[in-house]
Chains A and B, each alone.
Chain A
Amino acid sequence: MNLEKVIFAFFSILALTLNYGFFIGDIDDPTHHNVYELFAALIVSLIATIMKFGDRAHIGALLLATSLVADLQLIAAALVWGYVVYVAQSPLEPSVMASIVSLSGGALLANLTSVILLVVETVTFRR
């Protein structure tokens, strides 16, 4: 068992599960989507990205790319949230919540791809 691989897989999958946890629920209901979950998903996704830095294999490059997509989507979701609440100072309308959650839905897809790639790599790994 390779500890590095365990940690790597742990963060990739944690990013996916946290992302899913935030995404699940009625798309426009603010009570179904916890801000802490979004924050946790973003941080774990960032850490997962950094762990993929410097891997020069082809699959490593793909993993890094999907991770960067997830980061971008989650940061966009957080920015929309922050802008509406603290800059525009308006309450969380269902339409705003829907766009935040759909952005995180995009990140969910990217994270899912990332985990699928990880599984593919593991399956093709022979030694």
Chain B
Amino acid sequence: MHNVISLLLRRMRLPLIVLISTYAIAVVGLTLIPGVDDQGNPWRMDFFHAIYFVSFLGSTIGFGEIPYPFTGAQRMWTTFTIYAAVVSWLYAIGTILTIIQDPGFRRVLAFSSFVRRVHRLQEPFYVVCGYGDASRSLVRELSERAIRCVVVEQDQGKIQDLAVEDLPDYVPGLNEDATDSDSLIAAGLKLPSCRGIIALTGDDASNLTIAITSKLLAPDLPVVCQSDSKDSAANMASFGTNHIIDPFEIFATRFAMMFHSPSMYLVYEWMTAVHGAPLSEFKRPPTGIWVLCSFGRFGKAVREHMSVEGVKTRLIEADTDATGAPLDTIEGRGTEADTLLDADIQDAVGVIAGTDNDANNLSILITARYLNPKLFTVARQNQQKKDPIFEAADIDLIMQPGKIVAQYILGLILAPLLSDFFRLARNQTDEWANVLVSRIAGVVADVTPDTWELKISPQQSPAVYDSLDRKQNVLLRDICADPANRSQMLPCVPLLIKRHGVGMLLPEMEEGLQSGDHILFCGRQESSNQIRSIVNDQQALNYIQTGIDRPSGTIWRWLTD
């Protein structure tokens, strides 16, 4: 991209030369034309007065004829000068206005101001490519948690949406194609404070290009990609994309989980919920025969996971050939009563509307519920702006790809240990999940829990680190106690300790800490601040461990000892 100043100067060459030449000719003319002074003696204007006169004349201020009244020749020359100066000024100003309004120049201007803003970001930041539904909620959640990000989006309308969005932090947006390596570099791909690239353009091929570009230009930078198909997911994984997110797969896994382990589903749901959202009500889906409308990527994932759970589905699909639907599929869209009746909707227990058209999905559910009011309804909501309609439709479970992707990425950013936790939790029993759910519910009361991490290191927890360094034992209980009253525990649940790369699920409170431990907590947000104050404050830690509030000053210590 070009330098804005040099671009402007190059286009201003001719107008500036015209302006200077006009002034020079006018000045020389005035010094050459004979005049008379107030005594009637022949007199010639000097350079100083000529420049003074032309300067105020050219800017059409006009102080009059100085220092003596002009002769006819001088007036004629002045008349010529006035027109020449006005025309040259119009030409110069007109050229500036033309340049400023030129779309190409504006693009260069926006680009370079974006680059400047990105370079001025002092804090670590993430590059979000694409500004669709998923990015929109992700950017909002990040900026509400004071994590900086920048957005690259090709669609001008969406960048304008970002500009008018009321975010707590300023989020720079660039209106360029994110698959272009120049735009990625401008967004700070190579800056040391860049923490990761998040590719959510809504198009697998673009996400793939972004992932390859950033892996080649900045191999150590984590890349998170959305992928809607297994093909491109495998392709992305082949060159080391760190996280590949398939919202349909995530939803299908969780939906299947609702059948066999509702508590486990709740654990997943709560850990990746929106900041401060109310604890979700849970309605267990009935087992029996389900009607699944559409056999696209969503339908395939859901059917596959449901069949693993032993739940039978009857398919309705409009285009059976293209989707490769099985033979017993009923052909149709599912929006009409006939097709639904063909699929025996009256003896089904639930219906899943999974087409990529929101209006059709709503129509399917409303028709189905009319035919069988007891149905459990599941809808795929493709566009976030349809929130009010979907809420009004009173649907049992709504799947929003954008929301799922945003929450998943947010979890990765805020608490990378969460993915370790989920991996280990998957192998646990339903009883284990039941216990955990009731523990968490007891701690957080009525809003979803926050998750956060703590590392036992000199930077993050100096007090604990120093104690361990002095060979004093510090138990997990010690950092989870209320610093105001040591017999009370803070409203939090330690979920995982990662030590030397090995995860320890739901550690006991009596567990001794070691330096280098990575701990994942969940609970109320205020307890995260209190834990942070304990691990930073030797005195608070001492009090919790011993029950004695020792003075910290030397004199007081000497007095009390």
Contacts and interface: CB of A to CB of B under 8 A. Distances in A.
Interface in A69-101: 78, 82, 85-86
A54 B24 CA distance: 23
Contacts of A85: 46, 48
Interface stretch (B5-13, B143-151, B309-317): B5-13
B21 interface: yes
A54 B17 CA distance: 14
Contacts of B21: 43, 47
B28 A54 contact: no
A86 B7 CA distance: 40
B1 to A, nearest CB: 12
B17 A47 contact: yes
A39 B24 CA distance: 8
B178 interface: no
B24 A53 contact: no
Nearest to A46: B20
A54 B7 contact: yes
A53 B20 contact: no
Contacts, number: 46
Interface of B is mostly: helix
A51 B27 contact: no
A50 interface: yes
Contacts of B48: 82, 85-86
Nearest to B2: A56
Contacts of B8: 54
A36 interface: yes
A59 interface: no
A47 B13 CA distance: 9
Contacts of A119: none
A35 interface: yes
A50 B16 contact: yes
Interface residues of A, number: 16
B47 interface: yes
Contacts of A39: 24, 27-28, 47
Contacts of A43: 20-21, 24
A53 B20 CA distance: 15
A40 to B, nearest CB: 8
A39 to B, nearest CB: 6
A24 to B, nearest CB: 20
Contacts of A56: 3, 6
A86 B66 CA distance: 14
Contact of B28 (A36, A55, A78, A82): A36
Contact of B9 (A47, A54, A78): A54
Interface string B58-83: 00000000000000000000000000
A85 B48 CA distance: 9
Contact of B13 (A53, A78, A82): A53
Nearest to A11: B17
A46 B18 CA distance: 12
Contacts of A46: 20
Nearest to A60: B6
A114 B65 CA distance: 41
B461 to A, nearest CB: 52
A85 B20 CA distance: 24
B47 A53 contact: no
A126 B24 CA distance: 37
A82 B55 CA distance: 15
Interface in B269-295: none
A82 B46 CA distance: 10
Contacts of A78: 47
A82 B48 CA distance: 6
Nearest to B9: A53
A35 B48 CA distance: 11
Contact of B17 (A51, A55, A82, A86): A51
A46 B28 CA distance: 16
B10 A54 contact: yes
Nearest to A86: B48
A39 B8 CA distance: 28
Nearest to A47: B17
Contacts of B31: 36
A50 B6 contact: no
B124 to A, nearest CB: 33
13 contacts: A36-B28, A39-B24, A43-B20, A46-B20, A50-B13, A50-B16, A50-B17, A53-B10, A53-B12, A54-B13, A86-B46, A86-B48, A86-B49
Given A39-B27, A54-B13, 12 more contacts: A39-B28, A47-B21, A50-B20, A53-B10, A54-B7, A54-B8, A54-B9, A54-B11, A55-B10, A78-B47, A82-B47, A86-B46
List of 7 A-B pairs having minimum Cβ-Cβ separation, nearest first: A54-B10, A53-B9, A43-B24, A54-B9, A86-B48, A54-B6, A50-B16
